[in-house]
A and B are shown apart, each in its own frame.
Chain A
């Protein structure tokens, strides 16, 4: 009976061999694929198994980690002053995913980025827990606080930029939401999220980057820049060819001004000071669509900006007739701009015509704050020449000193600005948006340019004006940045 016994032995050996081959296949050949399978919960568990790296402002973390109360996930995200910083950080949730910086720099924050490979390997030997790297932002805590506090309970947004570098100093949006309340994995987090999503005030929308508003009169600085750049007018104090009343081309309608101001044949300076629709509307019509479009696009219109969080593209339409171009040139008709876009416009003027690419991540670091990558300021375009930029600055400073923007005046500091009250809705039926753009300037150039928009439908219609609602906020933000400079 030994012959069949030996064969049975071989058969048993083959069974064992089959098992060995199979486990090699599963655990060696397929291992990588399996460990990355999206249905494999281990992927998520690992993601939350250690503390996430922080997002840092002014050297202090505005995010944190705490032990989760429930489930497989050990750590969950916490946010300091969550609502204030939400437009910067975005959120990361164990249930609802993540967005903005939390999502864009996820690899660094979770520590899976290739540049952290050395740290991971090192901690494997030292037995330390895997750690995420940090994201150091360009934001200025004081400016952000001023912006957020200034907006208060009103709906609106603020974007502030350092004109010399393009570094974003403040990015506020109200009403906001608290990312801490959606960070976990409980049903309560989901309920909170749904509540935010259902809220008609859209607290999760990042108004500073993702909402486009009609810019109203603040757009007149772009029109003025186009007039200077295309040689339509050279001297800001020379009279322009602007009749009053001025009839819109191809139309029977007259363009009207807001209030009774000396707009007839007013110089550019005076026109900007009193925000004359007739003067800037006619400039738009005289330059025509093509030239206006060229200047607007140099300022960044019609293009999404990545800071690195994406902002919506602001709009200045193509193929408009003269009347439409005229209306668009005073920030109405199709023109729409994000607060970031208007801050960029202001920054370019304040930086003597050079537009720097806006960014809000200064550097990425490893867990020990050693720099992995640093953003270097980058020039985006030159919308206007230094001479024209200086002319425009003078005009904007007149607006603040003697015009509609007096409420943004800061003692002993040169401030330039422009108000805007943007009508919108069918036949202007809805309450207008209050805009204010401004920059502050010291001997070393301009450290801050800011754009504020307030869309407050609780205020009386008469009270809504850029100079009244938005300018004080811009002033506080500029003041905060200036205080830091000292």
Chain B
């Protein structure tokens, strides 16, 4: 038997597992944030920070355990995703710690120092990551929970409406003793599971049973139902929870998955039309959306005689220039409140690491998304394909919505930068997301089992008389 050479993205027989590549990459992903940590300490106090050893060991431990678990339970998984996520999470911790050192940000009113909590959340995230790898032996199991997922996702999305608004948005639920959760971060994953399951079943009906209208294929009414339902839900989120980002994320996610499932461009046009109609409708009467748009169009305009947060972020980017002021040497504190650690954390990247650092971070996100889409391409089953593109699509949209909002490509919507920004729900949910993607890629790249020799083979031999 000759060796089959692997020329496609789909893993084939005897594909290398690439686990050692992952380990080497992980070393970088740990060393870079540790250097960054040292850099902040040197810039701020002129000495190596006391917590450096603990931080380095902690990050190494998390990365090491994750790596060993991947080696054991998902040996053929994509080798880049874990290092990229570790790098982002590690840099996020350094940035939050660096911002903790600004007394004007780290006030009791905004919760004090955040870095230790974020470290615990990151550990919880990695624990969930390990749990998923350990207990989810095959991603296709999730298919069974299609409709349960739908219910859970809806509950998660609607829950925050019953809790008071925090920082101007109704996107939090408060559990006594645990703290605040942002359920939308988890709903993002669960709803991708639901879409993948639903669309896999309905894709033929959606793709084929449609009427032609003005050169486009329009879906039947009964297939249209769930789409309009999602559109309505996303509008509801926008209106009642004042959460522009999440509604954009869910609707975009649905359009992407629908398009991949049905392969019909008309769905994209249809989806964009609906979202545009919804956005214009809401913007025409919701004050906070209007003010966001206003801020976006005139970011430097003074409001109430003062410089806005938006303007402060733009100034932060501007003063960063090509190479930045250096970690710990910028003035992100001017943005004020908790914003520099959450929504505007990219402003600190831009100011202190400069254009170079910011582009590097964006490219790291780009690479992570690219590995996700590649996993979708490589997956062999339609459910896996849909789930992978759903998860990476959601990730891509979130990155774009946040980074685009902060840098001014689109109006600001107030979501968290995955892994980088301060926020427990976000970091835990995103580690789970990476775990599911790794599981799918492991299945996709796993060598097909060699066909068992059958006894028939003997019998079909031509017997010469």
Q: Using a CB–CB distance below 8 Å, which chain A residues touch chain B? A: 1-9, 11-13, 15-16, 18-20, 22-24, 26-28, 30-31, 33-35, 37, 39-42, 45, 72
A2 closest partner in B (C-beta): B377
Residues of B within 8 A of A19 (CB): 362, 399-400, 403-404, 407, 409
Q: Which of B259, B350, B365, B392 contacts A16 (CB 8 A)?
A: B365
Query: Can you spell out 15 A-B residue pairs with CB atoms less than 8 angstroms apart?
Result: A2-B377, A3-B263, A8-B256, A12-B373, A16-B369, A20-B363, A23-B350, A23-B358, A23-B359, A23-B362, A24-B355, A31-B321, A34-B317, A41-B307, A42-B334
Are B259 and A35 interface neighbours, CB within 8 A?
Answer: no
Q: Is B82 an interface residue (CB 8 A)?
A: no
Complex Cα distance, B261 from A5, in Å, reads: 9
Q: Check B277 for interface membership: any CB of A closer than 8 A.
A: no
Indicate if the CB atoms of A1 and B261 lie closer than 8 Å: yes
Query: B384-414, CB under 8 A of A: which get 1 and which 0?
Result: 0110010011001101100110011100000
Residue of B319, B403, B408 contacting most chain A CB atoms (<10 Å)? B319
Judging by beta carbons under 8 Å apart, are B404 and A8 in contact? Answer: no
**Nearest 5 A/B pairs, CB to CB:** A34-B318, A27-B355, A16-B366, A15-B400, A40-B315
Extra inter-chain contacts (11) besides given A12-B366, A27-B350, CB under 8 Å: A4-B263, A5-B385, A12-B370, A15-B397, A15-B399, A16-B369, A18-B404, A26-B317, A27-B318, A28-B321, A31-B319
Q: Contacts of B256 on A, CB cut-off 8 Å?
A: 8, 11
Contact A39 B300, CB 8 Å, known A12-B392, A23-B317, A28-B322:
yes
Q: B319 contacts A35, CB within 8 Å?
A: yes
In Å, the complex CA distance between A356 and B356 comes to 57
* Residues 88-130 (chain B) with a chain A CB within 8 angstroms: none
Closest Cβ of chain A: how far from B253's Cβ, in Å? 11
Interface magnitude class on chain B: 35 or more
Q: Are B318 and A31 in contact (CB under 8 A)?
A: yes
Residues of A within 8 A of B408 (CB): 22, 26
CA distance A23 to B317 in the complex (A): 8
CA distance A232 to B263 in the complex (A): 109
**B 353-380 binary contact with A (CB < 8 Å = 1; else 0):** 0110011001101100110010011000
Interface bits B250-265 vs A (CB < 8 Å: 1, else 0) = 0000001001110100
Q: Judging by beta carbons under 8 Å apart, are A8 and B318 in contact?
A: no
In whole angstroms, how far apart are the Cα atoms of A45 and B373 in the complex?
A: 45
User: A35 near B407 (CB under 8 angstroms)?
Assistant: no
Contacts known (A33-B318, A34-B317); A4 close to B366, Cβ less than 8 A = no
State whether A1 and B263 are in contact (beta carbons under 8 Å apart), knowing that A15-B396, A19-B409 are contacts in the complex: yes
Is there a chain A Cβ closer than 8 Å to B302's Cβ?
yes
A27 touches B354 (CB 8 A): yes
Tell me which residues from 173 to 229 in chain B have a Cβ below 8 Å from any Cβ of chain A. none
Q: Is B147 an interface residue (CB 8 A)?
A: no
Instruction: Report whether A27 and B320 are in contact in the complex, using a CB–CB cutoff of 8 Å.
Output: yes
Kindly provide the distance from the CB of A85 to the nearest chain B CB, expressed in whole angstroms. Answer: 33
Contact flag A39-B373 (CB < 8 Å), given A16-B362, A34-B317: no
B49 at the A interface (CB under 8 A): no
Nearest residue (CB) in B for A30 is B318
Residues from chain A with a CB closer than 8 A to the CB of B399 are 15-16, 19
Residues of B within 8 A of A28 (CB): 321-322, 355
Tell me which residues across on chain B come within 8 A of A5, comparing CB atoms: 260, 373, 376-377, 385, 389
Is the CB of B26 closer than 8 A to any CB of chain A? no
- Cβ-based interface call for B270 (8 A): no
On whether A27 and B358 interact (CB within 8 A), knowing A16-B363, A34-B314, A39-B302, the answer reads yes
- Cα–Cα distance between A198 and B366 once the two chains are bound (Å): 62
CA distance A26 to B314 in the complex (A): 8
A39 touches B318 (CB 8 A): no
